[in-house]
A and B are shown apart, each in its own frame.
Chain A
């Protein structure tokens, strides 16, 4: 016993010393200062794509860094020529669209871009054997042909005014994919495009490494490499941003604002077209009464939702066309705060009288409905609870219910639902399917079966007519009718927040869609970024 003591002590001492040595060895900086590091940008996002093939939905709205579409979008989301020498022309009947390709564009492997590649790309999307959800957006395309190596002709089933907006889709090289099963092609992981960067490596779940395309037709990028780190968890992304690993990272508003006081960082709150609102189904006996819907529209306090739930990083929403769009109708904008008096007066006039329990009733039917929200989405849950509290103040009882989508789907015809949609590009894109009576009750398209002849005609006119002024008038009619009928209770537009190192130069935020990952994020123009 006594003899053992020194041995034991020695053991402990040795173990501790070894441990400390190991720690010290690891703490020594092993990464040498690399001068080229100044020419590398590292960005972090949670939004990793499943594939890097535009045919399978990678970067379909352009700015995919690896690919180019026939057209691209500038900082104001206006269309500019991409692979096309100038914006494609539309025939008088609106059914033939012709694009002439830019000269001398090369793919990353050195192959020349021809019209066959463009036609192949669109034909692949339209092929039912290809697992592309983009097909739903291109159902107006009857055929795509390449009459000569520099010309692409789209033949449409019906005139579709915003068709050029659909030409941002990245073009893939036909010879690398022709005759292959596109769903399973090697290309999806190691793509070859025409864009400002080519893919050096992609480790799914970890990072995507891009290198500058020396022969990019738009000019060689101002930097050499871009690394996109995929970090799923928000807190982890914030910590690694704090550790200095990233030049830019997408972060939830509450985590992003934590960086604001620090001079080494800059926070960007980018406006989006991504709205959240409550779909009010006509199949619900209480919500079928327009007085209830209008009263709810007056009763919700959008300013409080933006300030409280979104931490100030949002804007009140009054309709499906974002205020940043040239098609936005200013007259539909209401008060951002709640107007309880007006809501109560409206309900009184419509015969909804307060009962003993504070809930209004009409002909014995209490003003009560269920509001569903996807349980995993905390933002929608918070908004649903806010709507519930606001409605209670005017005597309407809302029962919020968090469910999974499969439980929500069969109930959308009769129960209200917190949904989100929106696109910054053209009002036709989402709204046509969401509010046209033709799509009433079809899955997530118009699930509340809203029917209005005025809206149907306006949406159709916006799609049929090429004249911008007439389109604008049609969408003004549409927005006004929607504001009168209130089939949706629009609540807020979100903002995407990003944290950047202050030294990053050349950042130019533009209005974003819901989807933002590798493509179409704050780094849409990263090929022009430099460091001060």
Chain B
């Protein structure tokens, strides 16, 4: 089995109007090579499911600035000023989800669970229009699963079967997004032969992954560089 593909072949799989799941937390652990290729291709009317919306000039920010995004489903979009302007102008719709709800909706989508109940957001604007049910004396909101047409994830290494390992907090939403789309592309920093990754250490089993791409260039932008002399522990 060999799932190693080209970035061009990956781009063939995403059409105008698609729902695209994307890993990353801020610009940490984002599939930056796939995003740049998608920007060049100019695919439009995308609904993007991603915790954040990138920053100006990086990550999903590139797609937003290029007018390719119709809707964002996220938990926090505060770092992107261009998005803010486009939301005010009515060019982009934003659906905000609590971060854990977003993660669980995608997890459910990948796990064959159509909906679930969560205590998060009861009695808040998030609950509007949603079913509430009481279990054991506490109210819970019903949230529905999310699936995508395509997922772009970033891992540290892949083998040719598509097994993935991640690096530190660049893992974030990537393993979840990799489970919940019809076509899953993983871009990685290194591709090895099957058997060269320790099977005990694999985070995303190959069954979830359709194509593996070796990223050509990693900028790995740091959003907030904070050093030790400024403060004590780094939360």
Q: Does A associate with B in a complex? A: no
